[in-house]
Amino acid sequence: MIIYHPRNDLYHCIYRFINILNKVKLEKFEFIRLRIYDFYLLFPHFSKEIEFPRLKGVAALKNRASMIEAPYESLPDKKRLFSEMGDFHIQALQILVAKNILHENNGIISLAPSFYSSAIKSLLDESNNNDYEFFLELVSILNQVSVFGESGLKKRTGLMEYRYDAL
């Protein structure tokens, strides 16, 4: 039996990256942050395990996150799942850089002028769904948190090792 999951699809990963960058509306972005956002876009039920900062609107978001049901499928733990997605993330970034859609410099991603091309615009117009409401609220909170350090996203999400971050 063959089971498809978008986490193992390189082209779906490229599509998700483009959607995330379009929805989040940041000109410069850490690649690690993009990877974390992609993880929570695919697996929103893990968002209930995030150690959220004490900010306005977090309580309502936590309540919404706690109501998201886990999928029926059997998944490995979140850290392993995130690690397994890493190769797809790196390949997707390399393709987007090679196609001159994104620029990457020392882990910082910026949008290339071709990101706003008509082909990408039509792709995004076709995919204009409203399933991103929770995701956009989550990202608006997480954008206020650094990626690195004791209070960074890596620690708060539990997806990556943070203790050896150079600050």
Neighbours of 38 (CB within 10 A): 21
Q: Per-residue pLDDT tens for 33-92?
A: 999 999 999 999 999 999 988 888 788 888 988 898 888 877 778 999 999 999 999 999
pLDDT value at residue 32: 94
Q: Per-residue pLDDT tens for 108-133?
A: 999 988 888 888 888 777 765 656 78
Per-domain residue ranges of the chain = 6-157
Pair of tokens at residue 162: 């943070």
Asked if the model's pLDDT at residue 31 lies above 70, the reply is: yes
pLDDT value at residue 94: 97
pLDDT value at residue 167: 60
Asked if the model's pLDDT at residue 164 lies above 70, the reply is: no
pTM of the predicted model, to two decimals?
A: 0.90
Q: What is the mean pLDDT of residues 155-167?
A: 76
DSSP labels, 102-126: EEEETTEEEE-GGGGSHHHHHHHHH
Q: What is the mean pLDDT of residues 133-148?
A: 88
| E strand or H helix that includes residue 96 | helix 78-98
